[in-house]
Amino acid sequence: MADKHIVDPHGGKLVNCVREGLTQDPSAVAIRLTERQQCDLEMIAVGAMSPLAGFMGEADYHAVCDSMTLTNGIVFPIPITCAVDDATAGKVSVGQKVALTDDQDRFLGHLTVEEKYKQDKRKQAGKAYGTEDGAHPGVKVLMEEGDTCLAGPIEVAVPRHEPLYTEHRLTPAMTRAEFERRGWKTVVAFQTRNPIHRAHEYLTKCAQEITDGLLIHPLMGATKEGDIPGEVRMKCYMVLIEKYYHPDHTMLSIMPAAMRYAGPREAILHSIYRQNYGCSHFIVGRDHAGVGDYYGTYDAQKIFDELPEGGLKITPLKFEHAAWSKKAGCMVSGKTFPKIEGDQIFLSGTKVREMLKRGERPPAEFTRPEVADILIEAMKQ
């Protein structure tokens, strides 16, 4: 990548579907979007899913499933669709403009329907998620959707009503402008849906050594039951950055995407997002975007080797699992220190949650005490 400018958006151009002053067409059929579809709508509208300017048509849907590209050859790993039930589909004709609303029937924007087609849920599950198991949280959402997809370009009035974290809810155009203001040409993004523990802190700081800046970019859209609430995570991120990161080289912004738990293919999707936000590098760690035991430990890293050359402008930074070594007295990985039985401090997420519920602070080698305090307090409520 040339070092003269911030990385180009995926596909070469940043999409913007937000229309100031847009109001609902009273004659349009209203369609209530699911939580994930609302997240997708916002991500498309602000350009985070560039080059998409709407929900995918049938040819792109199958091309993405089969080859991880759109029909024009641009890399895209997961179908982005507006699926509706049969009753709703029956009210809509190709060529119509439909009004898109949230779960409280508040107007979000319009979709001009260019296609109606049946989605192949079993195919999509097997290709995008690598499993048809209904217990997989992403597959479960897919199977509960309607069977008919409405495809076409969108126009969005406001990305979201009463959005959370407005101070940190920066669009790709905003992050790019801020990187320019700071003089950052190379920026590494860190994806997270959890509080940042010491191993993750270590990865981000390794990445900071080779880039101008770090974008801590937590996913704040739809997640699965049991994940730590967004407001708790934000408190953790903010105190961690304040106490343990350099303010001139660190930035916090949220990403309003839905989590799909699609493992390897979602790692590619997350990279596309961050390229559109202006990042040149992206941290891909152990079991990125995984859930349960559906994916191999480093499958989300290996998939980048399957992409055509030049398919992405962003560079993945592939990290192994890191943990605190008592003998070394620091964070280590399999590349930096030999594995010695009983040496590394490793706690499962379940064990940490049990400790927090009892009001016990996990060891400082695992998490910063300020973060532990916030989590302990949250567990009491």
HSE-up of residue 74 (Cα within 13 Å, Cβ side): 16
Q: How far apart are CA 211 and CA 315, in angstroms?
A: 12
182 is catalytic: no
**What does each C-alpha distance from 268 to 304, 312, 377 come to in angstroms?**
7, 9, 35
CA 90 to chain centre: 33
Rounded to the nearest 10°, the torsion over CA 351, 352, 357, 359 is 120
Which tokens is 93 given? 């004709």
194 is catalytic: yes
Q: Write the DSSP assignment of 324-381 as a string of letters.
A: EETTTTEEEETTTS---TTTEE---HHHHHHHHHTTPPPPTTTS-HHHHHHHHHHHH-
User: Can you give the C-alpha Rg of the chain in angstroms?
Assistant: 21
User: How would you label 4-35 residue by residue, b for 16+ Cβ within 10 Å and e otherwise?
Assistant: eebbbbbbeebbebbeeebebeeebeebbbbe
Q: Of 106, 194, 286, 353, which residue is the catalytic one?
A: 194
Q: Of 176, 193, 233, 260, which residue is the catalytic one?
A: 193
Supply the residues annotated as catalytic. Answer: 193-194
